[in-house]
Amino acid sequence: MTRSKIAALTALGLAAAAMAGGATLAVAAPSASTTIATRKANFKKMGAAMKALKGELSGTPDKAKVLEAAKTIAATGRVQGQLFPAGTGPSSGVETDALPAIWTNRAAFDADMTKLVTEADKLVAAANTGNAAAMQAQFKAVGGTCGSCHKQFRADD
Ligand code: HEC
């Protein structure tokens, strides 16, 4: 184990001890920076899956690859909504493109995430039929849900 890892673990231990001593927090929530890093990594995974889909659908699609990418987007979309707890916006001081509107207009944000999952599930279904035109149309529908959420809730978009 490296010296910095030991230092990090020691810091974690101290934080846990401090939490255990505190009356207000029963469970140690992950830090804002951990949560933000996780959701960014998940969005990157979604971006890579969209890229793979675009490549597949520009030629004769490999059904298995389309299925895999569609399932990745659906599964990732299902966890993303939980990675935007209060306190993980720009005011956290952590670098994030998440706009404060997420927390002032939460219902709309959650609805956008649900829409993404619904459309990604439909892409899984379209891939299962093996019909390239259906996959193509559904790929566009999924992409539309990414864009509409980004427009309202992500900076620089
Ligand atoms: C419900 C809203 C919502 C939906 C739907 C959504 N995104 Fe995002 N996306 C965000 C927000 C908010 C951020 C900024 C996250 C941050 O910086 O903390 C983001 C960031 C990203 C990033 C940048 C991640 C990074 O490294 O900083 C990528 C890539 C991305 N999204 C791709 C996608 C793709 C592809 C889809 C659709 C398959 C999608 N997103 C659907 C809200 C959404």
Q: Which atom of ligand 1 is nearest to the CA of 113?
A: 1
Q: Determine the Cα–Cα distance for residues 85 and 87; give it in Å rounded to an integer.
A: 6
The pLDDT score that the predictor gives to residue 24 is 53
Closest of 107, 105, 111, 108 to residue 89, by C-alpha: 105
Residue nearest to atom 36 of ligand 1 (CA): 146
Residue nearest to atom 30 of ligand 1 (CA): 43
The pLDDT score that the predictor gives to residue 13 is 45
Q: Determine the Cα–Cα distance for residues 125 and 36; give it in Å rounded to an integer.
A: 31
pLDDT tens, residue by residue, 83-113: 999 999 999 999 999 999 999 999 999 999 9
CA distances from 155 to 95, 96, 146, 152 (A): 11, 8, 13, 8
Distance 150 CA to ligand 1 centre (A): 7
Ligand 1: residue of 78, 114, 150, 151 to mutate (most ligand atoms within 8 A of CB) is 150
Residue 46 has pLDDT above 90, yes or no: yes
Token pair 């990418």 in the structure block, residue: 69
Mean model confidence pLDDT for the chain: 88
